Amino acid sequence: MTRPERPTINDVARRAGVSKGTVSFALNGRPGVAEETRQRILDAARDLGWTPSHQARALSVSRAFAVGLVLAREPELLGADPFFPAFIAGVERTLSDRGQALVLQVVPEAEEEAGYRRLAADKRVDGVFLLDLRVADPRIALLEELGLPAVTIARPDGPSGFPAVLVDDRPGIAAAVRHLIELGHRRIAHVAGPAQFRHGQVRREAWAQTLAEAGLPATACVEADFSAAGGARATRQLLENDRPTAIVYANDLMAIAGLSVAQELGIVVPGQLSITGFDNTDLAAYVSPPLTTVRTDPYLWGRAAADALLQSIEGGTVDDVPVPPAQLVVRASTAPSLPSV
């Protein structure tokens, strides 16, 4: 028996009714192809079972046809935090349509710089995503030194020549705090993410600024690490002192852990303590009581970041990418504050 011939780019062109050059532009994500035509080409390639020969493509244009993501997080935390699977799913959806691959490295923080240098030296990737932005992030200068195209998730707090997906956590946290103030709460605490992370700092600043605008103190804040265990420890610390009537958490994972701690201590949520989260994870709607939280869309961010990075790799001018603002989702974990006895 003879093996059936592998479909070629010419077969895709004939099926889609376009030229071979148009197919090449569409499959490589280059500009100049109408979206309707691009989709017709992608459908034709899928119907024929065509897959790119990455080795031939890479040799012909000195490209890896892969992009990189280096994460300096504990593997256990990555598995528990639903942000990363959703973001990566969005990235993969866009990459698979363009015949690209994702190279993921999970490394200790001390080895993060070495991870980027290996990817660049081995020419394993054509560009990288930059997540978990730090305050005064040193990786910006590192990637410029390495000559790697990059896209940042959120705008850094310092100079950067890379396009950014314009994620802004401030409106979501501000909306949660205002919601609690409207319910009559005056002692509103915050369980924050690590201060070294830009999004941890931004969420804490938004909490404090919104309280200040209402003439309320922003003194009850405990820093944690975005993990369930960290959220539980921070909640115990807050509830053992001058107990707040509400707690704004920097993510859902810590909020759900805090809810469990409050119930363990006999504190009724939301009757005696209101709780809000951030991310609107799937589990948030199913805990008891269902969690008031802030809805974000990391899947969309992943798609937008991948599209911007591929355009940048092709040498185009890429502007920052706006994304829809986060929205407050009110559920049963928040209620009016009871008057002091």
Lowest mean pLDDT among 46-60, 259-273, 288-302, 326-340: 46-60
Q: Are residues 216 and 132 in the same domain?
A: no
Q: Is the peptide bond before 270 cis (omega within 30 degrees of 0)?
A: yes
pLDDT in tens, 216-249: 999 999 999 999 999 999 999 999 988 999 999 9
| Nearest-angstrom CA–CA distance, 241 and 169 | 28
| Nearest-angstrom CA–CA distance, 268 and 246 | 12
Question: Residues 104, 166: contact at Cβ < 8 Å?
Answer: no
pLDDT of residue 4: 54
* pLDDT band of 2, cuts 50, 70, 90: very low
* pLDDT band of 3, cuts 50, 70, 90: very low
The tally of domains found in the chain comes to: 2
Residues of the chain with pLDDT > 70: what percent?
Answer: 92
CATH number at residue 121: 3.40.50.2300
pLDDT in tens, 179-211: 999 999 999 999 999 999 999 999 999 999 999
pLDDT of residue 23: 81
DSSP letter for 111, please: G
pLDDT of residue 269: 98
Q: Which residue has the higher pLDDT, 288 or 315?
A: 288
Q: Are residues 149 and 290 in the same domain?
A: no
pLDDT of residue 30: 66
Does any domain span residue 93?
yes
pLDDT of residue 1: 41
DSSP letter for 85, please: H
Three-state DSSP class for residue 143: helix
As a whole number of Å, the CA-based R_g of the chain is 24
Does any domain span residue 37?
no
pLDDT surpassing 80 at residue 336: yes
Q: Are residues 98 and 139 in the same domain?
A: yes
Q: Are residues 220 and 135 in the same domain?
A: no
Parallel, antiparallel or unpaired: strands 327-329 and 293-295: antiparallel
Q: Are residues 220 and 150 in the same domain?
A: no
| Contacts of 105-114 spanning 24+ positions with Cβ under 8 A | 105/68, 105/69, 105/70, 105/71, 106/71, 106/73, 106/75, 106/78, 107/70, 107/71, 107/72, 108/72, 109/72, 111/72, 112/70, 112/72, 112/139, 113/138, 113/139, 113/142
Q: Are residues 91 and 112 in the same domain?
A: yes
| Nearest-angstrom CA–CA distance, 172 and 176 | 6
Tokens 């969420």 map to which residue?
203
Three-state DSSP class for residue 69: strand
Query: What's the average model confidence in pLDDT over 150-167?
Result: 96
pLDDT in tens, 301-323: 999 999 999 999 988 889 999 99
pLDDT of residue 38: 85
Q: Are residues 136 and 204 in the same domain?
A: no
Q: Are residues 258 and 310 in the same domain?
A: no
Does any domain span residue 125?
yes
DSSP assignment of 281-332 equals -GGGGTSSSPPBEEE--HHHHHHHHHHHHHHHHTT-----EE-PPPEEE--T
Does any domain span residue 131?
yes
Does any domain span residue 341?
no
| Nearest-angstrom CA–CA distance, 157 and 215 | 27
Does any domain span residue 133?
yes
pLDDT in tens, 65-115: 899 999 988 776 677 788 899 999 999 999 988 889 999 999 988 999 999
Question: Residues 125, 119: contact at Cβ < 8 Å?
Answer: yes
Which tokens go with 210? Answer: 């919104």
Q: What does residue 322 show for φ and ψ, rounded to 5 degrees?
A: -75, 150
Q: Output the average pLDDT for the chain.
A: 90
DSSP letter for 189, please: E
Q: Are residues 116 and 175 in the same domain?
A: no
Domain that holds residue 188: 170-296
* pLDDT band of 29, cuts 50, 70, 90: low
pLDDT surpassing 50 at residue 58: no
Q: Which helix (H) or strand (E) holds 117?
A: helix 112-121
pLDDT in tens, 41-51: 888 888 888 76
Does any domain span residue 339?
no
